[in-house]
């Protein structure tokens, strides 16, 4: 498993971060998902082979749950 870190932009509140984190935890190919509203960071773990698929699923969920939120790799 590799660790990946992303900067989250346009996340409005801590409750939004918690709800989004809960939705992302349902993705079966990633583990140890955490979103910090204070630092505006998204962290997760997955295998190198699953990274692109994981990012696609993460972006899809973010777009559905929080349309204004974007992520970029740190």
CATH value at residue 50:
3.30.70.100
Residue 40, pLDDT score: 97
Please name every residue paired with 36 in a beta bridge, in sequence order, or none if there are none.
Answer: 41
pLDDT tens per residue across span 14-43: 999 999 999 999 999 999 999 999 999 999
Judge if pTM exceeds 0.85. Answer: yes
CB-CB neighbours of 31 under 10 Å? 13
Q: In whole angstroms, give the CA distance from residue 35 to residue 41.
A: 6
User: Hunting for tokens 């204004």 — which residue is that?
Assistant: 68
Residue 41, pLDDT score: 97
Q: In whole angstroms, give the CA distance from residue 43 to residue 45.
A: 7
Domain, as residue range, for 60: 2-73
Of all residues in the chain, the percent with pLDDT exceeding 70 is 100
Residue 37, pLDDT score: 96
Quote the number of domains for the chain. Answer: 1
Q: In whole angstroms, give the CA distance from residue 26 to residue 43.
A: 15
Residue 17, pLDDT score: 96
């Amino acid at each position: 498993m590799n660790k990946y870190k992303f900067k989250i932009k346009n996340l409005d509140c801590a409750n939004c971060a918690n709800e989004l984190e809960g939705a992302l935890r349902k993705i079966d190919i990633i583990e140890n998902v955490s979103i910090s509203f204070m630092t505006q960071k998204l962290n997760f773990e997955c295998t190198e082979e699953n990274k692109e698929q994981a990012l696609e699923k993460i972006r899809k969920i973010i777009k559905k749950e929080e349309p204004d939120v974007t992520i970029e790799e740190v």
